[in-house]
Chain A
């Protein structure tokens, strides 16, 4: 569900007004995108409290920096979602929230591992990026999507996929380079 061209133009107008300190435009901007942004924060953070904090910080940042948006940053929606994603990742890091929190009772199981990615997002990811994700191997794609959607660190990926950190790093590095080659074609 990509917002259409008109939506982006509306958002652009709102963003322009926000850059000129228009509080009503800011409230309308919030109404227009807060739920999509909160969905992303929730997915990444995995908990409401942190997601809400990230949402607030993202909007505060948008209020202060709306004037810095330009076309080179992608669509207005994409730019604002990127801000929300960075704020969420920052909060996860600063509070050291672990994606695997709550799995402690499994510690006695020596070979626990998992790759948390469901088909809907995996397929959704394929629909985006002009099909380039499909050029990657399964492990490369899953590592990248897990980092993107769940904010997994190398360590968390290594634990989740029961693979050495070096292997996980190389999946991501090679996967991203392959993705770029494909996107540039």
Chain B
């Protein structure tokens, strides 16, 4: 395969993103060895996409991680240190201070955010349509669930779409009728939030105008979707 500028551009981006896999990835790594131009394109993307990583919340790694790194890099020294019981001292004072500080910060965060619930999101799509019908996302505050209409079309005349939480056990919980267009927000009750965080499953049924008269789905279930945590 020739290294055309277009190919380099496209493959470098996918290499950094990680979506270039298998043999294609290996082949591209060879290109990187061969060509400064290819490497520069890769660095461009590493720098640009790398900005996204600054948005991920930090997580304190277990203390065993550092110990393992030391053991893997310097197995001899680690053994001697373990026997003599000294030598790690130069790092532990600093480390334990950091750990204490981290614990305090964590405690403060926990107080400030009594419910650090994972956020759910997902999409409701139809097999033969390339765009999702609705995108679903959960707002961290106020138990809000947001549906953004992308390609949903209006329900048949005299019908409405109704949104349901499908719990792990028991009957679906209605979240009410949803419009086909625009952005629609539903406030979840605590019960609904709990059910959704356990099953992470939503469904949409076709109901008479105004929604199901019985409190359970009466029409066909049009879509079932599983939300993911991010």
Measuring CB to CB, which residues of chain A are less than 8 angstroms from any residue of chain B? 1-3, 23-24, 27-28, 30-31, 34-36, 38-40, 42-43, 48, 52, 55-56, 59-60, 63, 72-75, 77-79, 81-82, 85-86, 89, 93, 103, 106, 109, 111-122, 124-125, 127-129, 138-139, 142, 144-145, 147-154, 160-164, 167, 172-173, 176-177, 179-180, 183
Contacts and interface: CB of A to CB of B under 8 A. Distances in A.
B55 interface: yes
Interface in B112-170: 119-127, 130-132, 135, 137-140, 146, 148, 150
Q: Is the interface of A mostly helix, strand, loop or mixed?
A: helix
B84 interface: no
Contacts of A60: 69, 72-73
Given A55-B65, A112-B225, A150 B46 contact: no
Given A73-B43, A78-B46, A113 B225 contact: yes
B94 A117 contact: no
Nearest to B203: A109
Interface string B1-27: 000000001100110111101000000
A74 B46 contact: yes
Given A30-B66, A139-B150, A176-B14, 12 more contacts: A24-B90, A34-B61, A40-B56, A55-B61, A56-B65, A75-B47, A113-B225, A116-B121, A116-B227, A149-B52, A153-B21, A167-B130
A86 B126 CA distance: 33
A172 to B, nearest CB: 6
B59 A161 contact: no
A114 B60 contact: no
A18 to B, nearest CB: 11
Contacts of B16: 82
B13 A180 contact: yes
Nearest to A74: B47
Contacts of A139: 130-132, 150
Given A34-B61, A148-B17, A172-B17, A114 B228 contact: yes
Contacts of B91: 24, 27
A136 B191 CA distance: 37
A128 B51 contact: yes
